[in-house]
Amino acid sequence: MLSEVEKKWRAERLAEILRWQETSQYQNFINDRQIWQVLKDNTKPTKRETLEVIEKARENSSSGSLLSPKDVAILANNDDEELWDAIFETAYWIKRHVYGNRIVIFAPLYVSSPCVNKCAYCGFRHSNDKVLKKTLSMEELEAEVRVLINQGHKRLIIVFGEHPVSDVEFISRTIEKIYDTHDKYGEIRRVNINASPLFVEEYERIKRAGIGTYQVFQETYHYDTYCKLHPQNTLKGQYAWRLFALHRALEADIDDVAIGVLFGLYHWRFELLGLLHHAMSLEEEFGIGPHTISYPRMYPAVNTPLTTASPYIVSDADFAKIVAIIRLMCPYTGSILTARERPDVRREVIRKGGVSQIDAGSRIAVGGYVEMAREHIPDKEQFQISDTRSLDDFIFELCKDGYLPSFCTAGYREGRTGANFMPLAKHASVKNFCIANGILTFKEYLQDYASPRTKEIGERLTIPQYLSWLDENVPQLAPQVRANLEMVEQDQRDLHF
């Protein structure tokens, strides 16, 4: 249970949040009745209607336009299996058209699990005494980061509970510590954050520390369900505060923001339209849509019955549909598939859904990387992941399947973020940078960390395949990429465009 110090901190912050909600000028962009109405009005779409939406999505991949709520409802309600094959093929085509056939690799790093909230589906809720709560010290954090660096990682998403020990100053120190940690050739080059909503001035502090993307999931856009799962006397119980978390981040000039829901809390078709309306609101207010969209499914957690008893659990078949529709409805966004999913599901959905980013070699216990041999430490985890393969095993599979594994973070260092990133992604030219930089970062991995079998397939097949792609599609870059590859072999690192 909460201590008096924790209760006092929560009460003071809740009062500030309530004052913000009373004075906020933002207009709620989620209308439950309207969302259900558009789904009802398009319950039985015709083949012609569905094909028209598929073609519209292809056209949008070169303009950056979003599908409409009606379009998404038509796709979500399609029951023609042949048309689903067309949707999956289109999702894969759009992803390659916008980003190329590369897959960006990252790792999650859980820094702090104490939390003052009591979310019904979360293993870290403060009332769950079956899970040990822990916050990494700076020394423990450095040890975790060194393990990740020596796997070959360059990009992290760091995760915090909402608690006084993990306030904005602690988050900022964490970012700075990660960037300051080096090991031979290795370093983390981009730190993204998954944490609680902040005030504008707090986002500004995080930005000064060098944040990459700030990620806040709404969990569910359905208001009544949200209130049921998040008690009103908690910080997370404030629906509007969370709904506009990323609006405040963009007010504070955070370059990239990320949205998502936890599928399994409510009807998946409703949540898809919630994600669309969120993207539309960000576009309308700031001209900048979500940098990424995540779509985790609810998975079991210790002493958390809802995770297996929810009536809205999403099947594997529907999950693939969700991911594909997200790619069609928002073609420019990064699409994140996590290690919650089984290896066979991930392999299938990467292609069917047009996935562009994925974690690998993941451990989600706080302090779990220094105990890498233990795939699961249930009493230290928020939930259970299903894909515990090593990073190298996962990369080997990507190479066998013809993808380019990428550790690229060049866009962040070259200023291709926020308003500067969106035109490149919306007009499908960002892939030219993605492939060139992906080749170079993959070469670094092969030089420094790969197993013999991964190095062999990477050098023999993957890099030549994508150099040929550059020769054909971006011939002006190809000679410099080849020259940079030679410099990587001579132990130069972080060469990028």
The per-residue pLDDT for range 143-193, each reduced to its tens digit, is 999 999 999 999 999 999 999 999 999 999 999 999 999 998 899 999 999
Q: Any bridge partners for residue 159, and if so which?
A: 110, 194
The pLDDT value given to residue 312: 98
Do residues 248 and 199 lie in contact, with contact meaning Cβ atoms separated by under 8 Å? yes
367-390 pLDDT per residue, tens: 999 999 899 999 999 999 999 999
Quick: pLDDT tens for 292-323. 999 999 999 999 999 999 999 999 999 999 99
Share of the chain above pLDDT 70, in %: 100
| Residues 410 and 493 sit within 8 Å (Cβ to Cβ) | no
Q: Which of 186-200, 247-261, 388-402, 410-424 has the lowest mean pLDDT?
A: 410-424
Give the phi and the psi of residue 2 in degrees, each rounded to 5: -80, 145
CB 109 within 8 A of CB 148: yes
Place of tokens 């994140």: 336
Residue in 358, 336, 332, 326 with CA at minimum distance from that of residue 418 = 332
How would you classify the pairing of strands 190-194 and 186-187?
unpaired
CB contact at 8 A, 350 and 99:
no
What is the DSSP code string of 251-317?
HTT-SEEEEEB-BTSS-HHHHHHHHHHHHHHHHHHHS---SEEE-PBP---TT-THHHH-TTPPPHH
The pLDDT of residue 226 is above 90: yes
DSSP category for residue 27 = P
Neighbours of 152 (CB within 10 A): 25
Confidence of residue 333 (pLDDT cuts 50, 70, 90): very high
Q: Is the pLDDT of residue 412 over 90?
A: no
Q: Locate tokens 């901190």: which residue?
A: 9
pLDDT tens across 337-370, in order?
A: 999 999 999 999 999 999 999 999 999 999 999 9
Confidence of residue 194 (pLDDT cuts 50, 70, 90): very high
**Cβ distance 296 to 340 under 8 Å?**
yes
pLDDT interval class at 53 (50, 70, 90): very high
pLDDT of 117 over the 90 cut: yes
User: What is the rounded CA–CA span in Å between residue 141 and residue 57?
Assistant: 43
DSSP code string of 484-495: HHHHHHTT----
Scan for tokens 């599901």, then name that residue: 345
Which residues fall within 8 angstroms of residue 252, CB to CB, at 6 or more apart?
A: 200, 201, 203, 204, 207
Domain boundaries, the chain: 4-29+94-389, 429-489
- Does 413 have pLDDT greater than 90? no
> Is the Cβ–Cβ distance between 470 and 435 less than 8 Å?
yes
Q: For residue 4, give the 3-state DSSP assignment.
A: helix
pLDDT in tens, 227-262: 999 999 999 999 999 999 999 999 999 999 999 999
- Averaged pLDDT, 47-65: 98
In CATH terms, the superfamily for domain 4-29+94-389 is Aldolase class I (3.20.20.70)
- pLDDT number for residue 473: 97
Average pLDDT of the residues of the chain: 97
d(CA 158, CA 363): 12
